[in-house]
Amino acid sequence: MIRIRDLQFGYPATPFRLQIPSWEVPDAARVAIVGPSGSGKTTLLHLLAGILVPQQGQIEMGAFNVTRMNDASRRDFRASQIGLVFQRFELIDYLNVASNILLPYTINRALQIDASVRKRMQELAHRAGISHLLRRPVQRLSQGEQQRVAICRALITQPQWLLADEPTGNLDPQNKRLIVDLLHQQAEVSQATLIMVTHDVSLMADFSLTVDFQSWCAAPRDASRQEAIP
């Protein structure tokens, strides 16, 4: 279960505020998050993953209260329990595809790369259609290929929570279907909760719950105009 209570978050010196009085997501749910650009969808995923910390409120991810952890515990929690597909991939440029996929294992020292992890890496890369690219530095990949590396990296630890931020944005229709099916299948196998930000109405039918973000965004829609121009 994901449980949010009285959450308030704002970036320093900006008018944007995310306020969620109460939100619960049952285990193994499939949640689609929709909403206008700038409404805070990415911010919410980063709060759930413990990358950002709210000014107020509680975020419980199962038995983990991410709002009560110190930085090091949140980083370990993220590496072992969360599969996050970043909107902008956040791959490490100078590493090859295989090393990027295995990155969670270098972040959390409690995680060990063994033969089964390597096998899973090969299988995921194969499913995502990038197995021929494993040794290539990611800076020499197309956007769509980079996106698929980011998705394999999110799946490699078989995390309990899969958070995907517009994971099909750079994919052609065929790869889009393949990747969405891969995310759903992996969620099914590990009984993980899948939360996916998407604008793609053709994907909505696959989800048990749709959340429209507009109602959670307390900032005025034209908030950007109120920001001081340096």
**Footprint on this chain of ligand ADP (rule: CB under 6 A):** 11, 14, 16, 35, 37-43
Strand partners, 38: none
Closest CB to ligand ADP among 44 and 97? 44
Q: Which H helix or E strand runs over 78?
A: helix 71-81
Q: Which does 39 bind (CB under 5 to 8 A by kind): Mg ion, ligand ADP, none?
A: ligand ADP
Site residues for Mg ion, window 87-126 (CB under 5 A)? 87
Closest CB to Mg ion among 42 and 147? 42
* Phi, psi of 115, rounded to the nearest 5 degrees: -60, -35
* Phi, psi of 65, rounded to the nearest 5 degrees: -95, 100
Among the listed ranges 80-88, 108-116, 120-128, 212-220, the one in contact with Mg ion (CB under 5 A) is 80-88
Q: How far is the CB of 204 from Mg ion (least distance, A)?
A: 18
Tell me if 42 contacts Mg ion by CB under 5 A.
yes
List C-alpha distances in Å: 108 to 17, 63, 79, 82, 157: 32, 19, 6, 12, 11
Position closest to Mg ion via CB? 42
Closest CB to Mg ion among 87 and 160? 87
CB 48 within 8 A of CB 161: yes
Closest CB to ligand ADP among 64 and 216? 216
Amino acid at residue number 82: I
Q: How far is the CB of 86 from ligand ADP (least distance, A)?
A: 11
Closest CB to ligand ADP among 10 and 159? 10
- First-residue to last-residue Cα distance in the chain: 43
Closest CB to ligand ADP among 145 and 165? 165
User: Apex CA 204: angle with CA 30 and CA 39, to 5°?
Assistant: 85
Radius of gyration of the chain (CA): 18
Q: Which does 99 bind (CB under 5 to 8 A by kind): ligand ADP, Mg ion, none?
A: none
What is the Cα–Cα distance from 159 to 187, expressed in whole angstroms?
Answer: 9
- 3-class DSSP assignment, residue 93: coil
Q: How far is the CB of 227 from ligand ADP (least distance, A)?
A: 9
CB 16 within 8 A of CB 189: no
Q: How far is the CB of 178 from ligand ADP (least distance, A)?
A: 24
Q: How far is the CB of 88 from ligand ADP (least distance, A)?
A: 10
Tell me if 168 contacts Mg ion by CB under 5 A.
no
Among the listed ranges 57-65, 68-76, 83-91, 129-137, the one in contact with Mg ion (CB under 5 A) is 83-91
Q: The tokens of 1 are what?
A: 């279960």
Where along the sequence are the contacts to Mg ion (CB under 5 A)? 41-42, 87
